[in-house]
Amino acid sequence: MREVSRDRIKAFLTLLPSIVLIGIFVYGFIGNTIWISLTDWGGVAALAEHPVKHFIGIQNYVDLFTGFLEGRFRQDMVNAVFYSVSLLAGAVGLGMFIAILLDRKPKGEDFLRTVFLYPMSLSFIVSGTIWRWMLAPQGGVNILPTYAGFKPLTFKWLSAKTTVLAFNWQNLLQIGLYLVAVITIIIGFIVYRNSRSKSVKWLAIGALSGLTAWIGGDMLPKALILEEIHGFNLATLGIIMATIWQYSGYTMALYLAGFNGISQDLHDAAMLDGASTSAYYTHIAIPMLKPITISAVIILSHISLKMFDLIFSMTGPDNAETGHPALNMYLTTFRANEFARGASIAIVLFLLAATFIIPYLITQYKQRRTR
Amino acid sequence: MNRSRRLSTKLIYAFILTVFLVWSLFPLFWLAITALRPNLGPLQMGNPFVFSPSLDNFCSVLSGKNLLPYFLNSLIIGLVATFLSLFFGVLAAYGLARFNFRGRRLALQWILSIRLLPPIGFVVPLFIMFKALNMLDTPATLIIVYTAFLLPFSIWMLTTTIQEIPKESEEAALLDGNNHFQVLIKIVLPSLWPAMAAVALLNIVAAWNEFLFALVFTSKKAVTLPVAITAFLGDRGVYWGEISAAALLTAIVPVLLLLLVHKQLYRGFGHWGVK
């Protein structure tokens, strides 16, 4: 008993420096940022000796999502969503594909692994510089076809003005409901095999929100007074491509490590049973590596949420077409001196991060308990 | 029939791998040939593959644009932050792995979760604090911030490594009258070296590449390489030859370190996915 309590003190002492550093830097500052975001701190005298701050509640957040002037922030959010989704699909898909190729142990596997992984170690500023140069309108990728005798491409990778999948921000609520409907119905079909009752619940939620959106339609409250169109800006394609280039090697490494962890016996048994190579991966190996897929998704979402350097070096911080909430936060805070508004953008980003960190932590914690 | 089919499968397979090889290497190759191309004006393209290579751009960024001080800043800040994060990290990891106390598992998960928060959220309060302390634009500021942000990952990696080392010899040493500190130094550290080396290299790469905090907290004296490069992107059109040379110099360090550590890295990835 006494041994245990002495242990506790020693443990406390070894952990103390880290707890202090992390505690102050992380939680103290999150608290501080939340507080700032609830005030009206900003403007010309923002950096005076004793700046004037008033508590104004959640007004900053209301302005961000429904305010007349913050249209750019809303486009940034839309960009971030499309950006995350394309990065996830691209980097996980490509990484998985390369990992399967390398899992067949070709000659020079060691060399190939390193070559595919190295982009990850580069600074985003460096890779941004490279890709900006390669995607220049009259250079790089666009002139490559001329070497094979074709016409050069004319696509403006980083400055195209085209927007696809456009929608009106006024109908945000309706679109949100449709999205909920689609997602829950998909989940309903996935769990159908395991549990009928759960599946019915999911399908019911989906049908309900879908119906509300469909029938409610125009009666639902509008998020804005005026029509405001947002969508997927094609100018972000170059940035998405550069990020996939940089991180597909990383997901490849995760999957490769996972494939190596699957015992050779299992592989041989599957092959003896007459499974084809593709069946082995789709029905056995990939489902077994679900934890790896989850960590890859989490790490990539995290990267797309904190994306700053790459866009900064590829298109500059001021380019509205390729904006991102993190860049917007930087400009709002340090160019316009609107500290409170900037803090509220930061908190929105935190909340987005929390939506995937918290479920992840809970599942991890439960898994370890049962073990 | 069968043989020719096998051959064609092999060819397709080799072809796909080559495509990925080019996809992965071409950007770096492009950077290198641009850096070696002399006298490239702001808007010139020319033929990117035909030129007489020279080291002019490297000379001009190192002496003319004076990149060297930034190089040193990056190096010093990276090394000190890495050392500090390892020092505190080993202490905390030993505590987390070897002492029994309530909430230990939760503490580990909590530490890991911090890594996933977007750093942009910390910029404002940090900026205010360092401004109040008159510490903006000093290397110490970046060292403190990097140490704090490198700690969670270091602690997590080192804790999982220590947990895999068998306890028995440590318990024997404790019974012989050594205290925990001696045990840590004499018994744990020797088997922890490989993991520490891997974590150290990853940390130094992360500190070397960090941009956001360096951009906000420095202006002149403590500027690091990534921030220095973005200055080239701004003024009077982009001189691609020079900026490529600077970018290549910045890229060399992390790529070499990755080559050194990639075996351990793969072992670490194995961990990560499974746990």
pLDDT digits (tens, 9 = 90+) for B249-271: 888 888 888 888 777 777 666 55
pLDDT of residue A13: 76
Q: Give chain B positions within 8 Å (CB) of A11.
A: 95-96, 99-101
Is A233:A322 a contact under the CB 8 Å cutoff?
A: yes
Average pLDDT across chain A, whole number: 81
Residues 6 or more apart in contact with residue B275 via CB below 8 angstroms: A291, B160
A205 has a pLDDT exceeding 80:
yes
Is A308:B120 a contact under the CB 8 Å cutoff?
A: yes
Q: Parse chain B into domains and list their residue ranges.
A: 2-56, 60-271
pLDDT of residue B173: 83
B99 has a pLDDT exceeding 90:
no
Q: What's the rounded Cα separation, in Å, for the pair B27 and A293? A: 27
B236 has a pLDDT exceeding 60:
no
Surface-to-core class of residue B218, CB atoms within 10 Å of its CB (0-12 exposed, 13-18 middle, 19+ buried)? buried
A233 forms beta bridges with A163
In this structure, which amino acid lies at residue B58? F
Is A321:A82 a contact under the CB 8 Å cutoff?
A: no
The residue whose two tokens read 């701004």 is B234
Is A51:A354 a contact under the CB 8 Å cutoff?
A: no
Give residue A164's domain range.
Answer: 68-337
B274 has a pLDDT exceeding 50:
no
Angle between helices B240-274 and A237-261 (to 10 degrees): 40
Q: What residues 44-63 of chain A have any CB closer than 8 A to a CB of chain B?
A: 47
Distance from CA of A88 to the nearest CA of B (A): 16
A229 forms beta bridges with A168
Is B28:A249 a contact under the CB 8 Å cutoff?
A: no
Q: What residues 78-97 of chain B have any CB closer than 8 A to a CB of chain A?
A: 88-89, 91-92, 94-96
Q: Give chain B positions within 8 Å (CB) of A114.
A: 258-259, 262
Q: Do A330 and B148 touch (CB under 8 A)?
A: no
Span A24-44, pLDDT tens digits = 767 788 888 888 888 888 776
Is A158:A322 a contact under the CB 8 Å cutoff?
A: yes
Q: What are phi and psi of A46, to 5 degrees?
A: -60, -35
CATH top-level class for B60-271?
Answer: mainly alpha
- Asked, for residue A194, whether it belongs to a domain, the answer is yes
B41 has a pLDDT exceeding 50:
yes
A316 reaches B (C-beta below 8 A): yes
In chain B, where does DSSP find H-type helix?
Answer: 2-35, 56-59, 68-98, 104-114, 123-132, 139-164, 168-175, 180-183, 189-209, 212-217, 225-234, 240-274
B193 reaches A (C-beta below 8 A): no
Q: Give chain A positions within 8 Å (CB) of B217.
A: none
Percent of chain A with pLDDT over 70: 91
And the tokens for A198? 């759960």
| Greatest pairwise CA separation for chain B in angstroms | 78
Least confident of A161-170, A325-334, B133-142: A161-170
B269 reaches A (C-beta below 8 A): yes
B227 has a pLDDT exceeding 70:
yes
Q: Which residue of A has its CA nearest to B209?
A: A123
- Residue-wise over B109-136: b if at least 16 C-beta within 10 A, else e? eebbbbbbbbbbbbbbbbbbbbeeeeeb
What's the per-residue H, E or C state across B23-76? HHHHHHHHHHHHHCCCCCCCCCCCCCCCCCCCCHHHHHHHHHCCCHHHHHHHHH
B163 has a pLDDT exceeding 80:
yes
Closest of B224, B226, B108 to residue B163, by C-alpha: B108
pLDDT of residue B273: 43
Distance from CA of A340 to the nearest CA of B (A): 9
And the tokens for B130? 């360092």
Q: What are phi and psi of B40, to 5 degrees?
A: -95, 115
Q: How many domains does chain A have?
A: 1
A116 has a pLDDT exceeding 50:
yes
Q: Tell me the mean pLDDT in the region A293-313.
A: 87
Residues 6 or more apart in contact with residue A6 via CB below 8 angstroms: none
Residue A165 three-state SS: strand
Q: Do A326 and B92 touch (CB under 8 A)?
A: no
A2 has a pLDDT exceeding 80:
no
Q: Which residue of A has its CA nearest to B93?
A: A15
Q: What's the rounded Cα separation, in Å, for the pair A267 and B143? A: 48
Q: Do A119 and B27 touch (CB under 8 A)?
A: yes
Size of interface A-B (CB pairs under 8 A): 274
- Asked, for residue A186, whether it belongs to a domain, the answer is yes
Q: What are phi and psi of B137, to 5 degrees?
A: 65, 35
Q: Do A134 and B30 touch (CB under 8 A)?
A: yes
Is B204:B74 a contact under the CB 8 Å cutoff?
A: no
User: Can you give the CATH number for the domain in which A80 is found?
Assistant: 1.10.3720.10
pLDDT of residue B271: 57
A81 has a pLDDT exceeding 80:
yes
pLDDT of residue A94: 93
Interface test with A, best of B33, B40, B71, B124 (most A CBs within 10 A): B124
Q: How confident is the model at residue A54 (pLDDT cuts 50, 70, 90)?
A: confident
Is B118:B235 a contact under the CB 8 Å cutoff?
A: no
Q: What's the rounded Cα separation, in Å, for the pair B94 and B44? A: 57
Q: Tell me the mean pLDDT in the region B85-90.
A: 92
Q: What residues 261-290 of chain A have any CB closer than 8 A to a CB of chain B?
A: 261, 289
Residues 6 or more apart in contact with residue B185 via CB below 8 angstroms: none
Question: How many other CB atoms are found less than 10 A from the CB of residue A242?
Answer: 26
And the tokens for B242? 């020079």
Distance from CA of B237 to the nearest CA of A (A): 13
Surface-to-core class of residue A246, CB atoms within 10 Å of its CB (0-12 exposed, 13-18 middle, 19+ buried)? buried
- Asked, for residue A347, whether it belongs to a domain, the answer is no
Is A36:B125 a contact under the CB 8 Å cutoff?
A: yes
Least confident of A187-191, A240-244, A360-364: A360-364
Q: How confident is the model at residue A1 (pLDDT cuts 50, 70, 90)?
A: very low
Distance from CA of A208 to the nearest CA of B (A): 34
Residue A166 three-state SS: strand
Residues 6 or more apart in contact with residue A105 via CB below 8 angstroms: none
Q: What's the rounded Cα separation, in Å, for the pair A115 and A96? A: 16
Interface test with A, best of B15, B24, B149, B256 (most A CBs within 10 A): B24
Question: How many other CB atoms are found less than 10 A from the CB of residue A311?
Answer: 25
Distance of CA B220 to the CA centre of its chain: 23
In A23-137, where does DSSP find H-type helix?
Answer: 29-37, 59-66, 71-87, 93-103, 109-117, 124-134
Residues 6 or more apart in contact with residue A61 via CB below 8 angstroms: A37, A344, A347, A348
Q: Which residue of A has its CA nearest to B156?
A: A18
Residue A277 three-state SS: helix
A164 forms beta bridges with A232
The residue whose two tokens read 């969670």 is B152
Q: What's the rounded Cα separation, in Å, for the pair B214 and B141? A: 9
And the tokens for A150? 């074709």
B43 has a pLDDT exceeding 80:
no
Residues 6 or more apart in contact with residue A300 via CB below 8 angstroms: A84, A87, A88, A91, A92, A247, A251
Q: How confident is the model at residue B211 (pLDDT cuts 50, 70, 90)?
A: very high
And the tokens for A225? 């007074």
Is A116:B24 a contact under the CB 8 Å cutoff?
A: yes
DSSP class of residue A261 equals H
pLDDT of residue A141: 76
Span A130-140, pLDDT tens digits = 898 888 877 77
